[in-house]
Amino acid sequence: MIELIPAIDIIEGKCVRLSQGKYESKKVYHEDPLEVAKAFEAHGIRRLHVVDLDGAASHHIVNHHTLEVLAARTSLAIDFGGGLKSDDDLRIAFECGARMVTGGSIAVKAPDVFLGWLQAYGPDRIILGADVKDGRIAVSGWKEESACQLFPFLDNYVAKGITQVICTDIGRDGMLQGPSLELYKEILQRHSSLSLVASGGVSGIHDVEALAEAGLPAVIIGKAFYEGRITLEEIEAFILNH
């Protein structure tokens, strides 16, 4: 069964979405992320993907108070990312209620730090963020393209104990043009036991069905929900029927 994981992206404490990671494309969808989270919870969602976009731009955790409210006032398992660069950032995220954290740029720029987190907290709590643009890993809130090719990057971290990966195709993120199904199939062919979360491009519940058929363990839903392409009722029905 595929797990549906709604995304809440935070700028200045508000629920927003970007297109292809571009901050100038910001659109505010809700002033209160807690209301959004509670609506998801009421319709059967159990996990939430929260991204601190201010943190991603600032290179340190920023919206930890929003995280704390979401964790304290819902029962949702929150995976949190965006700007986590230091042991102190990680400590704050966990103290504020994150069940898991996602590291992307840190895994490229400071692999020793990221591997230290993996060793200290274990693979159940540390998720590798693989944000892909033209086959390469992008970093720093997708503003920079690294020299890291996707598959060697994944191979390396899986060999070192990573079991959870969120893979985002930047070119499709927020574009509502369908997910990178073939890319995800290729990843699972190489790493069949990986807990792979598809992210980017979902345009409707039919895309979720296609990912489920391809064997994806989980999918992040963002703009499709906020633009009304996927409703809370569809989410609830999908969960009940799968």
Which tens digits make up the pLDDT trace of 55-65? 988 889 999 99
- Report pLDDT for 174: 64
To the question of pTM greater than 0.85 for the whole model, the response is yes
| Mean pLDDT value across residues 36-51 | 98
Residue that has been written with the tokens 């839903």 in this structure? 221
pLDDT digits (tens, 9 = 90+) for 88-123: 999 999 999 999 999 998 999 999 999 999 999 999
pLDDT digits (tens, 9 = 90+) for 124-137: 999 999 999 888 89
Q: How far is CA 214 from CA 59, 143, 155, 231, in A?
A: 35, 31, 21, 23
Architecture of domain 3-241: Alpha-Beta Barrel (3.20)
pLDDT digits (tens, 9 = 90+) for 158-174: 999 999 999 998 877 66
User: Using CA atoms, how far apart are residues 63 and 47, in angstroms rounded to an integer?
Assistant: 19
- Report pLDDT for 173: 66
pLDDT category of residue 143 using cuts at 50, 70 and 90 = low
- Report pLDDT for 240: 95
What b/e string do you get for 108-120 counting C-beta neighbours within 10 Å, with b at 16 or more? beeeebbbebbee
- Report pLDDT for 141: 54
Rg (CA), the chain: 16
pLDDT at 232 over 60: yes
Q: Are 67 and 80 in contact (CB under 8 A)?
A: yes
Q: How far is CA 79 from CA 6, 127, 185, 201, in A?
A: 11, 8, 23, 20
Sorted by where each begins, the domain ranges of the chain are: 3-241
Q: Which residue numbers are catalytic?
A: 9, 131
pLDDT at 21 over 90: no
pLDDT at 206 over 60: yes
pLDDT at 145 over 70: no
User: Using CA atoms, how far apart are residues 123 and 119, in angstroms rounded to an integer?
Assistant: 8
User: Using CA atoms, how far apart are residues 153 and 52, in angstroms rounded to an integer?
Assistant: 24
- Report pLDDT for 197: 98
What values do phi and psi take at 216, rounded to 5?
A: -65, 130
